[in-house]
Amino acid sequence: MKSETVSNILPEQKRKPKWLRVKLPTGKKYKELRGLVDKYGLNTICASGSCPNMGECWGEGTATFMILGNVCTRSCGFCGVKTGRPETVDWDEPEKVARSIKIMGIKHAVLTSVDRDDLKDMGSIMWAETVKSVRRMNPETTMETLIPDFQGVEKHIDRIINVAPEVVSHNIETVKRLTREVRIQAKYERSLGVLKYLKQQGQRRTKSGIMLGLGETREEVIETLYDLRANDVDVVTIGQYLQPSKKHLPVKQFIMPDQFEEYKTIGLELGFRHVESSALVRSSYKAQKHIN
């Protein structure tokens, strides 16, 4: 197979291609949730991150909440979250998140967080307490936890496994060759190890995500899919990388829709239970469908 950057790509251009243009969110359910978020000052990564799928997900009763503050100890080249010295942990946060989910009437909640390498437990205790609080206050709500790598420390990962969220996700983000550039403090093999350990310890459903358009080749994307499947990952999401600001890594390619479709076909043939693959796909896209 000829090694080359992804075929079917657009040259660098100022305007986004038409398939990356998003319609404004609409619908009764979306308007209700938007009103609740504004009224109570609720914190969702959907709204603060201007997710293109917010209207669709909220309309289906799914939302993503970020815990452990909004300042990350890492400085990944793709991520728009602030980097620096995080604030003190708010131990009331689990109840606040659980209450927000109850007020919004969320059927499926996705929890994510910044990296907290400054903490001895790397935030894993807060993670566990949040899952328990959400379950106590919202017994009918299912959950996905999109976790950091916790530097691969098993006792921290065990805290997530012990509270048994329906889905545990950890994003590989990019291909092996680009990991050092894209995820400066992360390691490709360590992320695979986290996903493998989750399954070895009995986690029923695991998930990971990849961004495209950072200069990866078609062969490297397929290799990454092979690596994820070899570590028994059940669900994979594949989407287009978009530059958060001029300070972040530039977009090298806009991937064509038919290329996303090819990756979806390859992923399903490899044995993934679900593959979400299109330009606007993000980690929590259609998350409620990834439980079963």
Sorted by where each begins, the domain ranges of the chain are: 23-290
Q: 276: which strand partners? A: 237
Q: 274: which strand partners? A: 235
Task: Give the angle subtended at the CA of 271 by the CAs of 269 and 276, to the nearest 5°.
Answer: 80
Is 51 known to sit in a ligand binding site?
Answer: yes
Give the residue ranges of DSSP H helices in the chain. 28-40, 45-48, 54-59, 93-104, 124-137, 154-163, 179-182, 188-200, 218-230, 257-270
- Cα-Cα-Cα-Cα dihedral sign, residues 221, 223, 228, 232: positive
Alpha-carbon distance 167 to 224, whole Å?
21
Tell me the backbone φ, ψ of residue 144, rounded to 5 degrees: -120, 135
Alpha-carbon distance 48 to 38, whole Å?
12
Alpha-carbon distance 112 to 64, whole Å?
7
Which letter does DSSP use for residue 249 in this model?
Answer: P
Q: What is the pTM of this model?
A: 0.86
Residue pair 89/42 in contact by the 8 Å Cβ criterion: no
Specify the length of the chain in residues: 292
Is 133 known to sit in a ligand binding site?
Answer: no
Is 284 known to sit in a ligand binding site?
Answer: yes
Is 191 known to sit in a ligand binding site?
Answer: no
Residue 106: its pLDDT value, please?
Answer: 87
Low-confidence ranges of the chain (pLDDT < 70): 1-15, 19-60
Is 76 known to sit in a ligand binding site?
Answer: yes
Is 124 known to sit in a ligand binding site?
Answer: no
Distances (CA, A) of 75 to 66, 126, 242, 244, 249: 17, 22, 17, 13, 12
Tell me the backbone φ, ψ of residue 70, rounded to 5 degrees: -125, 20
Its CATH architecture, for the domain 23-290, is: Alpha-Beta Barrel (3.20)
Is 57 known to sit in a ligand binding site?
Answer: yes
3-state helix, strand, coil in the chain (%, to 5): 40, 15, 45
